[in-house]
Amino acid sequence: MNKACLYILECADGTYYTGSTTDQESRLAKHQSGYYGGYTSLRLPVTLVWSQEFADIRQAIELERRIKRWSHGKKKALIDNDFELLCKLAQCTERKRACKESSRHPSAP
C-alpha cells in the first residue's frame, strides 16, 4: 500500500479543487502548469491550502470523494481548522437532507 496525500487547492477565482495523490510535489506542479487541462487549468494560479497524509491511497480517495461533494463553506471550515463550524454546517446539511426526504415520502395518516 502506498502512502498518499489528500489536498485542497484554492483557485484564482476563489473556488476549491480537491484531489489525492501519492506524489504531492509532482501533482501540484502539474496543476500549476495547466498540465491536466481541466478545472484547475482554467483557474490558474492555484495555491495549496490544505493537505493531509494517509497510510493508504484508498483512504485518501475515499475521503476525497466525500469532500468533493461538500459546500464551499464546509471546505473553508476544514482549511481553517474550524471544526466547530464544520460540525454546524454538517448538521445543517443533515437537517436539510432529512426535510427533503420527508417531503418526498409523506407519512401515511
pLDDT digits (tens, 9 = 90+) for 37-65: 899 999 999 999 999 999 999 999 999 99
- Give 100's pLDDT tier (boundaries 50, 70, 90): low
pLDDT tens per residue across span 73-89? 999 999 999 988 888 88
Task: Please determine, for residue 108, whether its predicted confidence score (pLDDT) is greater than 50.
Answer: no
pTM of the entire structure?
0.81
Task: Provide, rounded to the nearest whole percent, the portion of the chain with pLDDT above 70.
Answer: 82
Rounded Cα distance, 108 and 96, in Å = 21
- Residue 5's closest CA among 47, 64, 45? 64
Strands (E), 25-107: 47-54
Strands (E), the chain: 4-10, 16-21, 47-54
Sheet holding 4-10, edge to edge: 16-21, 4-10, 47-54
Q: Compute φ and ψ for 52, nearest 5 degrees.
A: -145, 140
